Structure formats: C-alpha cells, structure tokens
Amino acid sequence: MTEPLQPLHATAVARHTPLGWRGVLIQGPSGVGKSDLALRLIGQGWRLIADDWTHLWASDGALYGGAPTTIIGQIEVRGLGIIAAPLRPVSRIALAVQCTHEPIERLPEPAAWTWNGVTIPQLRLDPRPASAGQVVATALAAL
C-alpha cells in the first residue's frame, strides 16, 4: 500500500469480470440512493464491498476499496434496517458512479475521477430508474 486507508462517504460493490473482481464506487449526497442502487446490484449477483463509508487506497497505479471493520458485510436497507449482504472484502475499484437527481445528458463527454493520483472513469447517474443497475453493469463491462 502506498497510502494509508482513507474513508470516503461512498458505497462500493463488485462483480467478477473476465479481468477478475472489479468494483464500482457509488458516490453522492446522503439520501440520493447509493445504498438502494447497491442493493439492486447485489440482487443481480454483485457483492458488497462497503456501505456508506469505504476505505480507499492506491497501490501500483490502481485504486482498491474495503469496508471499515465496524460495518463489514452490512448494508442499510431503508425501511428495514441494517442487514447482512454477500461480501467481497476488498476489490480493485474500476469505476466511480456519481449519483444525482439532476437531469443526465443523453450523450455526455467521458468523465474521470481522481483519488490519490489514480484516475478512473466516472459515470453520472440518476439511481432511481429501474435501469440504473444495468447502466452501471454496462459501463463496467465497457471498460
């Protein structure tokens, strides 16, 4: 590890790809739907890395994420509470998703997000539509 673990207010999930496990960092303000989007992805076979707070670190030009020990394997389900979720304790983070309720451009220019000198693609997304999970899966597959 080249940097100490740094918590970020974000949720992270991962899925197995032809390149191995790859994670998606889901960012946005409180109440925007980060955990809800993660829950829908978990329902499609993804694994939870961390909910609400994610430790990020850079190593060998890549970003990695994991959960603080106090919340590992747990996700908040609004109206239900804190529940256990299928876990991927650590994963390389390949995509940042910026959740918003603002209108999304139909054909946006490619965007990027940088953390500790490592830049990854960024997708702006409204997490509320039913298709949001498939949009995230498609964006990750396209990398």
Q: Please, what is the Cα angle at 27 between 104 and 22, to 5 degrees?
A: 100
The pTM (predicted TM-score) of the whole model is 0.94
CA angle at 34 for the pair 2 and 86, rounded to the nearest 5°? 75
What are the residue boundaries of the structural domains of the chain, listed by start? Answer: 6-141
pLDDT value, residue 3: 45
Q: How far apart are CA 125 and CA 143, in angstroms?
A: 17
Residue-level pLDDT at 6: 62
DSSP character at residue 108: P
Q: What is the mean pLDDT of each run of 10 residues along the chain (143 residues)?
A: 68 97 97 96 98 95 96 95 97 98 93 97 97 97 95
Going 27 to 74 to 53 to 68, the CA torsion angle's sign is negative
Superfamily, domain 6-141: P-loop containing nucleotide triphosphate hydrolases (3.40.50.300)
Closest residue by Cα to residue 56 from 16, 86, 96:
96
